[in-house]
Amino acid sequence: MQKQNAVQAVSILKAFKYGKGGPFAAAEVLWDQKENIGKGLAGLGFLLLLPILFLCMLPSFLFGGFGSMEALNSQTAIMQNLQSYQSAVWTAVDHAHESILTQIQSEIDGLGEDETAVISDDFHYVSANAMLILCQYSVWKGTEDISTEEVMSLIQNHADALFTYDVSTSTSDGITTYTYTVQYAGDDYFADEIFRLNEREKQKALDYASNLQIFLYGSMMGAVSAQVSAEVLAYSDLIKKYAEQYGIPQFFDVICAVMMAESGGRVPDVMQASECPYNTKYPKKPNGITDPEYSIEVGVHYLADCLQGAGCSSPSQMDELSLALQGYNYGNGYIGWALENYGGYSEANALEFSKLMQQKLGWSSYGNPKYVAAVMKYLVFTGGGVWGSPFIGKNWNAAVSSEFGYRVDPLNGSQAFHEGLDIAYPTGTPINAVSGGVVTSVVFSETGYGHHIRVDCGNGVQVLYAHCSDIFVTKGQSIAAGQVIAEVGATGRVTGAHLHLGVLVNGEEVNPREYISQ
């Protein structure tokens, strides 16, 4: 038996070494042999293969295709691939949906004076499970090249079958009403008719989708990562070099986010560090540094000072990190001032400090009071596989101003049921996504929930983030748990700034405390 296990393990290793298309080409071999992999690895102890084995149980579209290596160590590339392919599916399905509605409208336009029509259409673009469809596509393609263009073409070729409609009639008071009911063929249509998968392949696609959910929205990404441009990522080696040199290697992603906020990596003074005290070679004026490496060295050195002054030793210390970031923008004199006068950072005291410095220096402006949010929007904080906190690094329990359930309405004094959890923080406080999912709605309003976001987390679960002052995501965007998606505000029907956090399961409101991290 040991000999047999060893032979199986060696065949697996050969797939990695000699497989066409690099390590991802071995995915098919590994998947087909997954029942034997555990035995083979146990026999030879190949523990180093475990991360690769997990990656091989993910769909190829996530990495841009078999043979692609770019996304292996880049969450930015992974999320860009995901959004690109999801967008391709939704665009093609939306086009098919619009076509059927156009056809119906053409019939309605031909009705007589005593006739009217109603369209019953429950379809929404996220009714199509893009992730599952893409996993089916990946199974169908195997190790062949994939592309968003092909995905769209396949769907467009079946557009006429994706949507149909029935017509029913009723007559009242001499008026005939035609009810047009739109029907969506469902996600199974893709597996059965477009990709023509057998039962084993369908199960493989489901496994892909399940693993993908864990990989994207569980704990596989680590504590923090940056979603930044290719121009910023091009400086990764230099950022790592100076982060190590100045004792902050754990802040690599934070440094990337700072560079993204400062310059996007598109000018020589990539860290906008010319006015830092450590710049001794170039003019101390905006964009004075003309050597990108020197800009990184100076900027990282100064950021390390700010982190130390703020008492921040980990990116997960949100209060301390916010204080350090604002200090990087204003100068670290702000850090001591904020600690002495307010005990730490807030957007309000950042604005106050800016005004004080304007008066002192006679300037029309001083720094960016919203600098923390400008950096945080490029950072993703991920949890441990369960729902995380809406305010990472903060004791949000102490800030709850209204619980889920019956209460006295603060505006009219009547007894009413409160369908969420109110967490009071100042306007501008970053809001972290408690779970990964797809943004289904972004609304800007001065009534009701005010500026708010709805996120579909899968399995019938939806999260509402309401009364925001600013929103950083768009409809249709895939987000990760921990990502900064908005800022606390006082928009809509409110008495003050707070986040109204709501959780709905199959359309029914439930207590968010049952889901989110304490």
Whether 315 and 253 have beta carbons less than 8 Å apart is answered as yes
Q: Which of 374, 373, 376, 357 is nearest to 365 (CA)?
A: 357
Most confident range (mean pLDDT) of 41-55, 75-89, 177-191, 308-322 is 177-191
pLDDT number for residue 497: 92
Rounded to whole angstroms, how far apart are CA atoms 443 and 507?
Answer: 19
pLDDT number for residue 263: 94
pLDDT number for residue 413: 76
Q: Which of 409, 474, 476, 466 is nearest to 438 (CA)?
A: 476
pLDDT number for residue 130: 74
224-376 and 384-514 have identical folds: no
Going from N- to C-terminal start, the domains of the chain cover 2-57, 73-214, 224-376, 384-514
pLDDT number for residue 226: 72
pLDDT range class, residue 451, cuts 50, 70, 90: very high
DSSP 8-state assignment for residue 192: I
Fold of 384-514: Glucose Permease (Domain IIA) (2.70.70)
pLDDT of 28 higher than 50: no
Report pLDDT digits (tens) over 351-403: 899 999 999 999 999 999 889 878 876 776 544 435 888 988 777 777 888 87
pLDDT of 518 higher than 60: no
pLDDT number for residue 458: 80
CB atoms within 10 A of CB 194: 19
Domain with residues 224-376, CATH architecture:
Orthogonal Bundle (1.10)
pLDDT range class, residue 125, cuts 50, 70, 90: very low
Report pLDDT digits (tens) over 465-502: 999 999 999 999 989 888 899 999 999 999 889 999 99
The continuous run of DSSP H or E covering 232 comes out as helix 230-233
Tell me what the pLDDT averaged over the chain comes to: 79
More confident residue, 25 or 281: 281
Whether 298 and 284 have beta carbons less than 8 Å apart is answered as no
Rounded to whole angstroms, how far apart are CA atoms 280 and 223?
Answer: 35
Question: What is the mean predicted confidence (pLDDT) over 4-20?
Answer: 40
- Percent of the chain residues past pLDDT 70, beyond the cut: 76
pLDDT number for residue 83: 61
Report pLDDT digits (tens) over 140-199: 987 677 788 888 899 889 989 999 999 999 999 899 999 999 888 887 899 999 999 999
pLDDT range class, residue 227, cuts 50, 70, 90: confident
